[in-house]
Structure 1
Amino acid sequence: MAGGKGTRLRSITNDEIPKPMAPVAGKPILEWQMECLKRQGVLDVVLIIGHLGQKIREYFGDGSKFGMNIDYIEETAPLGTAGALSMLPPFLKEDTFFLIFGDVLFDIDLNRMAQYHSEKKAEATLFVHPNTHPFDSDLVICDKDGLVKRFDSKHNVRDYWYQNCVNAGFYLMNRSVCDCVPKGQKLDLEKELLTGMIEQGRAVYGYRSPEYIKDVGTVERIRHAEKELKSGFIAGRCLQNKQKAIFLDRDGTINQKNGLVYQEEQFALEDCAVEAIRTINASGYLAIVITNQPVVARGLCEEDDVIRIHNKMETLFGREGVYLDDICYCPHHPDKGYPEENPAYKIPCHCRKPDIGMIERCAELYNIDLSQSWMVGDTTVDIQTGKNAGTKTALVLTGDAGKDKKYDVAADITAQDILTAVQKIIE
């Protein structure tokens, strides 16, 4: 979708080139996109052009000098963010296609997204991710399986805790989606096309990934992206490359130890938690929470209550411009005998720490090199978990401060709190 005017980039475009041709580190945004596609074997591209579209044609031509095959659809009148899809089927050589907005810079493992789309039997898959400003972003509300239930506009009043899950403007769709678009009519992709599909109960999924994808539609964002390109940060986050993570315990590490936390009112962040996560976000490490939540097995709450607490954590972090790449929890507890226990969760499992099921799942999802990663927590259970998984370990002196004594194990480093631990890890 390469028809944007780019009014916020006027100081760069001078109204002489369309927004997707705005230069980033010496190349148009569109060329960076093409390079990422070509590297992964996507060689057939259709450019939907409008405003100053001839400038795009002049630069890219038929794509042969870039080693690609490029066709064009030209809008004679603006058709919104989805109207032109009605004209797309004659150009499609496959049953699925990526739909990409021309003002986003990305480096994504396309095969992983395609595999997810196939496994879910999705008709449309949205690339979703946490960002640094969810409070003024449109949110994607998904269920635990990734099925999109609805969108929450940034203009709505949010009187609830929410997951930091934002639509990135990058999609994988089946050819059948084009059949939903009336010919020659203006149509909004999210508000009309996708919302209509969701209301009909069709398979629209959110693919959550920590990879780099950002709208570079302002001068400030372009300048920031140029720094991230030159530093290697963008390429490094592509899941084709091995990642490193800082796995974080929750209770007593990120939030204050307050007994068994099973109500959202009990949840309060440690004073330095925001700065710790901010430091991780800037470092190249993934920030992933790994937490046992036996409160479900003990019958103190339901899984929905745990998710609500985690949404509070994400909301509080998001308000401060920081984010978690993922949150994993184990609701099980093997020991029986509690008065109100939930027998369905009273089972031994591979996910409960110090077992490593949660870490293994993340390592597979995000291509993590565990030998270059860390487990940070306040108990010997956390340290034993890291040892079992093959990560390095850090004990924090908040919460239980290692006094649980369940395992005779020593951490690689000991720190006063989560911020100090993260600083030591990165140094």
Structure 2
Amino acid sequence: MQQEREVTIEYKTENTNTTDKSKEQSNLTSLKRRLLLANQRIVKTPRVKLSSSDSEYQNHLKIYASSGKFPIRISHRLCQICQIIKPVDDIVMLTDEVEKLFILLFALFRKKVIVEATVRLYRQPALYTCYSHFGETSSEILKMFGVTTAVGIFRARQRKVSQIVKFANHMSGKLIEEGRILNFAYLFMLQYPEASVSSCKFRTFSEAVVGPMIKAEDIPIERTIECHTIETEQIIPKCFRQPRKQRLENEEEGYSSSMLRIIKQEPLNLPATCTPSFQNEYDSSSSVLFQTPIQCCYCLEIREKENMVYIAKTRYRLNQWGEQLGEEFSDRVKSNVINYMCRKHFSPIDFNPRGRLRRAAIPNVVPPPEIHMFKIEGDDFVKVKEEELRDGADEDVEIDIEN
């Protein structure tokens, strides 16, 4: 094989004639050759023409050098429910809490994920899932509630509804009412009804939501049989009968006894208002100075900030507290710039896991109602003590089966 030899051009410079140097330099620039210094020799290399793809690559490099972000287009994503990599067109990003809640409940009931994973996925800002899971979720909602139509969700059994509410509260870390869960499930099925139509095999969308239509001629007719006997006059149809009288106690002739319960509710008495003063910045029980003394807007006691909770003046809270605690207390909260209350005025259920006050929390400052029991004996009222009621409730009744 013949060895390829590298063709080089050597330029010898002579000090005799300076004009020759200028001519050689002009010739080099006119030829526009690319020079490569290798082994102390000037090697002539041909000029490479860049293709269109190379020019696009150069443009990407310029964009990356200016912004610091490499222009990469994602073509596939991982579905976090079924753990399958699919094209981006088949994956949807969920940020709505209601949609994430029912998608994760569907995955939990289908045993695709465990409970700990659903809690972690719900707390993520975005959840990536397939489009097909929306239809599967609608059909799974019907199975979870044990119904066949979307309207039947509101008539589901209490046992199944409470089970779904427990899972939803554990997953979201919030207290969600049963009515809101039912409304959210119904609206979810209205938004994604395709799976319910395919799973329930209904012909139209209205049948999937409301149920199959029943014609008047399909309703069976109840036939009555007439009896021409003497006893038929004494028989009264059940729909016209009076309800049976429920006797709780034995009633004798001329004497009747019953219980009357009177509930006495005292109004809320707010402590006397006074100007907040931080002169006594110490606890009376222990002579320890408060580092950050704060006054309670209800009891007007000065305590440490750690034992207080911030009260946000939202419109919902002011209206709710005005109805439950009175307008006087709500006006006091409105007048203050910043409101704090003692934590002892709230129950542990009123705080979320982070220690903040929940939206529907109400302070336990209303005095408990006083209940008085009276026994009516003839025309007299006899007051019954709680001990007598407890003794009567704890009595055991013995029945002699042999005799």
TMscore range, shorter length: under 0.3
TM-score (norm 1): 0.18
Q: Please say which structure displays the higher CA radius of gyration.
A: 2
Quick check: which one's helix share is greater? 2
TM-score (norm 2): 0.19
